Chain A
Amino acid sequence: QVQLVESGGGVVQPGTSLRLSCAASGFTFSTYAVHWVRQAPGKGLEWVAVISYNGDNKYYADSVKGRFTISRDNSKNTLYLQMNSLRAEDTAVYYCARDGSGSYYLPDYWGQGTQVTVSS
């Protein structure tokens, strides 16, 4: 079955960096685009970024553009999110999700998420 397991979250100070990972299994990772979606405490869902199956195409939300970088290692079935210059408003649970559409618009299977807290 499709499994996505996020890791790397934690408590960090504003202005610092963090790298999240998402380990995929149960499907051919190298043939699917993958998203990062986040959810601030008590709030709704916010799309963060998506990367194409081969890593050639990457798209970001305006709120993270220039600070976050999405990448993948298909040899390791792993997705990454490098987060720099973190702000308090980046505090959220971060989910990775497989794209089921082939056109970057349908996160179908989601991981359980990893908590990122940005606080001084």
Chain B
Amino acid sequence: EIVLTQSPGTLSLSPGERATLFCRASQSVSSSYLAWYQQKPGQAPRLLIYGASSRATGIPDRFSGSGSGTDFTLTISRLEPEDFAVYYCQQARTFGQGTKVEIK
């Protein structure tokens, strides 16, 4: 079974800064199956990125995904106030443990 490990656990940044989130798989995975989700308190997850680098419908272009093999990255180029949330990577039926992006 593939394990996804996200880092860091918490990222403390200010609005306007760049956020870089990492997701490492325990073995090589197909980029086609790697997705990222955003979840705000009390809300359902929202799909941001699928296929490692494709933005889902309606997702702003400040969100980008990259990576292959075992290492994947979600980048938020300039944090907006609404971007402070928890982010999960996912591969098939496995989710990472999440990275919380909080206001510094």
Interface, chain A (partner B; CB < 8 A): 37, 44-47, 50, 59, 61, 95, 100-101, 104-113
Contact = CB atoms under 8 A, between A and B. Distances in A.
- B interface bracket (residues with beta carbon within 8 Å of A): 20 to 34
A47 B45 contact: no
B96 A110 contact: no
A120 to B, nearest CB: 27
Contacts of B56: 108
B50 A45 contact: no
A42 to B, nearest CB: 11
A13 to B, nearest CB: 26
Contacts of B93: 47, 50, 59, 61, 104-105
A108 B44 CA distance: 11
A84 to B, nearest CB: 21
A44 B95 contact: yes
Contacts of A95: 44-45
A59 B88 CA distance: 22
Contacts of A45: 37, 39, 45, 88, 90, 95, 98
